[in-house]
Amino acid sequence: MAPAIAPMKPSNVVENSFVKALAESSTLNYVPSQFAFANDSRGSHSDSIPIVDFAHLVSGTPDQRTKVLRNLDKACREWGFFVLVNHGIPDTLLKAIIEASLEYFELPEEDKRRYEAKSASDPIKSGSGSVINTANHRVHLWRDFVKSYVHPQFHCPDKPHKLREVLAEFSEKTRSVARKLLQDIGENLGLEKGYMDEVLKLDSCFQLYAANYYPPCPQPDQAIGLPAHTDHGLLTFLIHNGVAGLQIQHNGEWFNTNSPQNSILVNTADHLEILSNGRYKSVRHRAVVNNEATRISVVMANGAAPDAIVEPAGPLVEQDGRAYYHPMKFIEYVETMLSNRLQGKSNLDCIKIQQHD
């Protein structure tokens, strides 16, 4: 039987604390009730999670390229998720961004409080966050985060000092890999060369860096790091410190994602679902917690230009006879999601065009 949930802590302990500080208090044996989010955090294992070899896309033989383009299409269509290998981003840079992100979370609380979000359009935000659960209760997440807009304008917390340089390089390198993948995805969708660059205005594409810190949790099945959600943007890149926790939903079942070291986990996000008129689905995923080790993930969300209007691609609408999504300015979509105004609803559902519309 699951142990009882601890009595409510005085609300200021939770409201004003980062989860890291709470988890480090030596007396914590239970999940405080504000965090209570009962879930079955076990996931299935699959050795059929798709792997995409980036080197074959860039410099493979024509045969290799054809094969990997097919893999990429299948991954986007069937899973909305793939493990990207041989992407050319140096291992040292991947390690450096994880380390610098960890140093951010280890800063004194007053340094992190400077970035507590006041409005959805703040370019840097930090905190721990909450969501509305199915019973309409606000639930605190077992996670601290920092997020910052890094392209087309670059923003970065002042501390730790090394974060700025490492993040700028990570943003540049991931941006170029994402762009190449998007061009190949355009080819797979049968769109003209240059279509993705032009319509999504990829020269000034939006990128959001997010780092997530999930401390060990005394009752992992009584709390959640991040509940099931989809991401805004086109392609989300994710790396982590080797501690498992990301699960994706496939055919209604939750799968653990374990990835070879130095690979990048990539998921298709809402704006790719919109652009492809529903051919590629934005994959639902969640982060579960464990009672042994701190997990850190570093996410780069790659989107269209902030002022680009994203809508189903014209040639695909023509094939399908109708558009399945309303157009929306990219940055408005993102800020609606970041503002939590939707109270647990998905933005994607809000812009889906129902048959009778």
Amino acid at 216: P
Element (H, E) at 302: strand 295-302
Percent of residues in the chain assigned helix, strand, coil, to nearest 5: 35, 20, 45
Q: Does 191 bind ligand AKG (CB under 6 A)?
A: no
Q: Give which of ligand AKG, Fe ion, none residue 210 binds (C-beta under 5 to 8 Å, depending on kind).
A: ligand AKG
CB of 231 to Fe ion, least distance (A): 4
Q: Give which of Fe ion, ligand AKG, none residue 287 binds (C-beta under 5 to 8 Å, depending on kind).
A: ligand AKG
Site mask for ligand AKG (CB under 6 A), range 240-259, x = bound: -----xx-------------
The token pair that represents 266 in the structure block: 């990539």
In terms of CB distance, is 149 or 195 closer to ligand AKG? 149
Q: Which residues pair with 212 in a beta bridge?
A: 145, 297
Site mask for Fe ion (CB under 5 A), range 202-241, x = bound: -----------------------------x----------
DSSP line for 210-277: EEEEE---SSGGG--SEEEE--SSSEEEEEESS---EEEEETTEEEE----TT-EEEEE-HHHHHHTT
CB of 59 to ligand AKG, least distance (A): 30
Q: Give which of ligand AKG, Fe ion, none residue 22 binds (C-beta under 5 to 8 Å, depending on kind).
A: none
Q: Does 189 bind ligand AKG (CB under 6 A)?
A: no
Q: Does 128 bind ligand AKG (CB under 6 A)?
A: no
Those residues with Cβ within 8 angstroms of residue 251's Cβ, 6 or more apart along the chain or in another chain: none
CA 214 to chain centre: 15
Site mask for ligand AKG (CB under 6 A), range 222-241, x = bound: ----x----x------x---
Q: Which of 183, 191, 101, 196 is nearest to 146 (CA)?
A: 101
**CA torsion angle 107 110 111 115 (round to 10):** 120
Q: Does 311 bind Fe ion (CB under 5 A)?
A: no
Residues within the interface to Fe ion (CB under 5 A): 231
* Residues found near ligand AKG in the complex (CB under 6 A): 210, 212, 226, 231, 238, 245-246, 285, 287, 297, 299
